[in-house]
Amino acid sequence: TCNIFRPPRSKHCNSCNVCVSKFDHHCPWVGNCIGERNHRYFFLFLVSIASLTILVTASCFRIVFQAYADLAVLPGIGPVYSDIVNGTESIEIATNESEEEDENSMGFGNRIQKLHRVWLALLSYPSIVIFGIFTLLCAWSLTSLTCFHGLIITLAQTTNERVRGVYRYGRHVNTADDGCPQNWITALCSKRPESLLPTDFSEVVLCDEIGNTLRDETIWNGVMSTSTPAPSERAQTGRSATSS
């Protein structure tokens, strides 16, 4: 770990190799940990991309529906019915005389007509249909994830605590829960804490006393030194949990 006393709700992330204050989760899609300093931006990011995928999906379906509507009536004539004659499709134009046909056959013909129009509309924009299905799946998953993060903001929890069931069955009391309105205000409008990450990740920190000697250790680059620093060199750098 980072050789520090971690504050409550913090956790060491093996992927980032830092301790994250109010650790939520490590997100591989953004390549960073989600914690106290960036959870509000991550939530707004989810809202944005979920809205975008919903908009794109609706636009794709709108284009296909418009193509379906354009096939409903040919210019200047009545509805179009499709029929299969000798293995090939033929088009029969419905005129006013077709109203005298049997109602059952008309109902069946209308169903065939609608299915045929749907098929032609889908074939008119194959790339848009494929893209719409893809964005629909993305919209479903992203909207679900956005709702989940809205839930944990409402409850003043983190993903890590929710998955582990820290507050389940009343085993622990969530002291950060101040009620739904205040939780949202705290999550989105509170002052962003300063980052505690060091500017130089190779700096030397003063570790605990081992064998009546003080050992300094360079922990960021994996190189360890066991020399005893002089009193003038024992300047503690004040490392603490980082706030992503």
* Number of helical H runs and strand E runs in the chain: 5, 8
Say how many Å lie between the first and final Cα of the chain, rounded. Answer: 16
Q: How far apart are CA 185 and CA 188, in angstroms?
A: 5
Task: Classify the phi-psi angles of 124: left when phi > 0, otherwise alpha if psi is within -120 to 50, otherwise beta.
Answer: alpha
Contact 142, 48 (CB under 8 A): no
Q: Which of 2, 19, 27, 60 is catalytic?
A: 27
List the alpha helices (DSSP H) in 27-179. 39-70, 103-124, 126-154, 159-164
Is 27 assigned a catalytic role? Answer: yes
CB atoms closer than 10 angstroms to residue 146 = 19
Please give the positions annotated as active site: 27
